[in-house]
Structure 1
Amino acid sequence: MNVKNIIREIQANREEGIKDLYLVACGGSLVDMYLSEYFFKSEAKQMRVSLYTSNEFVHAVPKALGSHSLVVVCSHGGNTKESVEAAKTAQEHGAATITLTHNETGALIEYGDYNILYKWGEETDVKDNPMAIIFNIAVEALHSTECYDGYEKVIKGLEQVNTIIAKARVQVAERAKAFAKKYQHENMFYVLSSGASYGHAYGFSICSLMEMQWVHASAIHSGEYFHGPFEVTDKETPYILLMNEGRTRALDERALTFLKQYGEKIEVVDCKELGINTIDDEVVEFFNPIVFYSILSIYRAELAEIRKHPLETRRYMGKVAY
């Protein structure tokens, strides 16, 4: 069953319909949800959205959770215990649940009224990856309730984005190698972005750098950079700036202007430069993080290669009790 039909069926089976959306996951799967939270906060006039890390959702259950709620829970491996418990909690409170995983035998599936088993890998069409699927769920949920004006443009964008990314991969290949060579010995990065992509700045920090490379990192919202964080700017510390196309680009441009004046180690990844403008201006901002995920995966792969630190290497995760 496709996403549109899932949402249609949930709406038909719920007397009150869907009034609120909860996006629940951990780590990289939670990162995949920030786009949809931003989209909903931006475009919904009546429906509410909340983003939760799974264990907080379980231990601090929102009082608004109920039969009028749609809870989307994602776990790549399907067995993240906090996320499994979150989906169970959602069902116990009468909410409709959609679960997403790459593992067809994952424990998470048991607690999904609907389960989406997504594909994975470099050859997979981007629209079939979890970030895009969850975005599609959010768009369909909003459209089914409020008749979202940008609906057709988003659906068209989901068909366009794979081609954009394929070209962008070629465009950044050498640049990513140069980045890795230049910054291979750094032990701290600040990652800046805004709008729909702030979540991916956070994700690149905690997953790609901290988890996969054991390198210290911190995400900074471009709009918040000037309200404290810019005081540590110097010519020795590396910054990665994810430049959005769309309404919040001005925030990123302001940060870049300052960084160029007072910093030196600056890596800019600009979605406008990477050709995202073939997507309609009204909805293009929502596609920035989808592009950034694929492109920054190249950056982290090059960093792992030159540092001789495979992306899969762990010292705690799945190895010790926690």
Structure 2
Amino acid sequence: MTKIQEETDNIVSTVLKSSEQPITRVVWIGAGGSFGGFYAAQYFMTRNAIAVTSEMFTSNEFVMSPPAYVGTNTLAVVCSMRGTKETCEAAKVAKQLGAHVVALYVDPSPLTEVADFKIKYESLALDESRTELSNTSIALMIAMSLVQHTDGYDDYDVAMQAFDNVDAIYRRAVEATTPLAKVWADRNAERKPIYVLGSGPAYGAAYIFSICNIEEMLQIPSPTTNSCEYFHGPFETLDKTTSVFQLVSVGRTRAADERAVRFLKKYGGDNVYILDAKEIGLNDLDDKVSEYFNHVIFAPVLNNVYMRALSARIQKSYLTRRYMWKINY
């Protein structure tokens, strides 16, 4: 059976060889969690790629205002679990503009019909899903493969091996954080809003935790703030009662998260919560590549442990919605 690392690399290699023009652009397109799930790939590209420029787009914005550069020089990686309407339309626009379209999907939809290539992923929301088969992991593999083929990536083999270990790290993290999440949920059950902070390679996980887990699933307001930006306005909201969930990443921007932690501990109260990547297993990965796996581990832990704990504590099913899937919007 072909490993997912090999499957993604084969697709990237095929696109590069078959393209009429050299691939100099990659666009990552999705909506909601599918959009946020591309952040790890985008972070990797902007820190490593020279030959290929990378940019993320939320689906509807891409449809309404596609960038002028999209053409046969572009790889468009488009993600939707079941075929979100505007994401399918975005894939059509990318294809019409000449881009090579790769679809990441769970269920077949118009997205998979329009795509040149497709890769099936496993939803991180399901306990039985493999972490290396999540949309975030696969997108990150694509990014790493793209850089390896165009610029060369010295740590490519180390990174591909790391994907073989992420599921075990995630399982241990679930076990370690489950009792901690219950305490957090007890303390924050009545707190609104719940601020979520993160930076660098963990910012995408913070964003998804806010908009998908806390706001969409539990209907609790939850602003997301970059730890670096916290001191340029948002920190004025902090008092002893404020609910803040701080992600502390491993990697080059960890110092920004640690700065925020120092401030939160000094001026915040019992509703401040710190989740450190070092304490949930990121240090088990080689330091050369661990930075890029923050999102891969953080995102499923936040969804499957912390969101579920809060859902149970407030006795609100995370499957309920006010508007989504119920009305035209």
Q: TM-score range by the shorter chain?
A: over 0.9
**2:114 matches 1:114:** no
- Match in the other structure for 1:292: 298
Please show how residues 231-270 of structure 1 align to structure 2 within 5 Å: 231-264=236-269, 265-270=271-276
Paired residues, number = 320
- Match in the other structure for 2:93: 89
- For 1:19 and 1:27, the matched residues in 2 are separated by 26
User: In the TM superposition, what is the alpha-carbon distance from 1:94 to its structure 2 partner?
Assistant: 0.9
- Match in the other structure for 2:286: 280
User: In the TM superposition, what is the alpha-carbon distance from 1:46 to its structure 2 partner?
Assistant: 2.5
TM-score of the pair, normalised by structure 1: 0.97
What's the Cα RMSD here? 1.1
User: 1:213, 1:309 within 8 Å by CA — same for their partners in 2?
Assistant: yes
Please show how residues 1-322 of structure 1 align to structure 2 within 5 Å: 2-78=7-83, 80-104=84-108, 106-120=109-123, 121-264=126-269, 265-297=271-303, 298-322=305-329
- For 1:35 and 1:118, the matched residues in 2 are separated by 16
User: In the TM superposition, what is the alpha-carbon distance from 1:152 to its structure 2 partner?
Assistant: 1.3
- For 2:131 and 2:179, the matched residues in 1 are separated by 22
User: 1:245, 1:272 within 8 Å by CA — same for their partners in 2?
Assistant: yes
User: 1:37, 1:50 within 8 Å by CA — same for their partners in 2?
Assistant: yes
User: 1:10, 1:17 within 8 Å by CA — same for their partners in 2?
Assistant: no
Residue type at the aligned position of 1:300: M
SS in 2 for 1:246: coil
TM-score of the pair, normalised by structure 2: 0.95
CA displacement 1:254-300 (0-9 Å, x = unmatched): 00000100001211111101121121112111111111112112100
User: 2:23, 2:73 within 8 Å by CA — same for their partners in 1?
Assistant: yes
- For 1:123 and 1:189, the matched residues in 2 are separated by 29
Q: What 5-or-longer segments of structure 2 have no aligned partner?
A: none
- For 1:109 and 1:46, the matched residues in 2 are separated by 28
- For 2:30 and 2:121, the matched residues in 1 are separated by 15
User: 2:200, 2:253 within 8 Å by CA — same for their partners in 1?
Assistant: yes
CA displacement 1:164-198 (0-9 Å, x = unmatched): 11111110110111111121111211100111111
Task: Report sequence identity in percent.
Answer: 37
- For 2:203 and 2:285, the matched residues in 1 are separated by 20
User: 2:208, 2:299 within 8 Å by CA — same for their partners in 1?
Assistant: no
- For 1:124 and 1:144, the matched residues in 2 are separated by 29
User: In the TM superposition, what is the alpha-carbon distance from 1:16 to its structure 2 partner?
Assistant: 2.2
CA displacement 1:39-88 (0-9 Å, x = unmatched): 1011112310010001111111111000010000001112x111001000
CA displacement 1:95-115 (0-9 Å, x = unmatched): 1000111103x1211111001
